[in-house]
Amino acid sequence: MKRLLGLCVAALALAAGCGSSGPSSYTADDVKAAYYTAKDGGAGADVLEDYWVDDEYHSHANYVPREALEVCPLMQRANAPVRVENIIKPKAAEPVSEFVVAPTDDTDIRTPSITQGALLFGTTAIADDGMQAVGAAMSKCPPSYEVRGGPSPILGTYAVSARALETEDGWTGVIQQIAHTNPADDVYYEDAAHVVVQRANVILYLDVTHRKIIGERSDAPAKAEAVLRTVLKRLA
């Protein structure tokens, strides 16, 4: 079967899609109904739970306003040779409530946690402009930097890479891969992926994160793409 997600262009300054099909616009209800749920976990669903995030909740360790998108994780706390913005606020964005799928056991660091959200716009043109800005901002994120200040779990070295994505039905965006090593942990590293895609009047985002034993191959991007396929199929 032809792979749904493919590299469209090497540059992250995204161009218009190679093709497009599907609804001409989406509502918040459309997006919420499409979110990946614990039941979608298949054989692993029995160790998962899902829940809506309180719209008033914000992380103190890594504050990202709901109307914003993260483009360079924790850069606001980083010691880096190049300073760039950690977030971008697309113009005229209306946030959609976030939805989380996570392990039922708080001590389970190996099972991926998935956070999903979206921004809605009045027109496709405004959403296009927002996605172009996101892609340009992500391309400026340094490939490696250190966070030396803040809560212990976020300290350490971050290695970041990104590539452009396009789906067969016209969603375009960026997948960002993050490997975070913490000096206090010589067994595990954080394996994470951050995906942002746009079509019509909506920008979707999702984050996948879990721990891998140092030396193990990253699989967060593959998991993120699998989750994205489920969501986009529901929005087709």
Domain ranges of the chain: 5-235
Q: Six-digit token pair at 111?
A: 């099972």
To 10 degrees, the CA torsion angle through 230, 154, 187, 175? 30
Contact in structure between 50 and 38 (CB atoms under 8 Å): yes
Q: How far apart are CA 226 and CA 217, in angstroms?
A: 17
Q: How many CA atoms lie within 13 A of 5 on its CB side?
A: 23
- Predicted pLDDT of residue 9: 36
- pLDDT at position 8: 39
Q: What is the pLDDT of residue 96?
A: 97
Which residues, in sequence order, are CB contacts of 187 under 8 Å at separation 6+? Answer: 213, 214
Per-residue confidence in pLDDT tens, the chain, 236 aa: 334 344 333 345 444 444 456 899 999 999 999 999 999 999 889 999 999 999 877 777 888 999 999 999 999 999 888 889 999 999 999 999 999 999 999 999 999 999 999 999 999 999 999 999 999 999 999 999 999 989 999 999 999 999 999 999 899 999 999 999 999 999 999 999 999 999 999 999 999 999 999 999 999 999 999 999 999 999 99
Closest CA to 82 of 2, 144, 158: 144
Homologous superfamily, domain 5-235: PknH-like extracellular domain (3.40.1000.70)
In the prediction, which pLDDT does 43 show?
Answer: 86
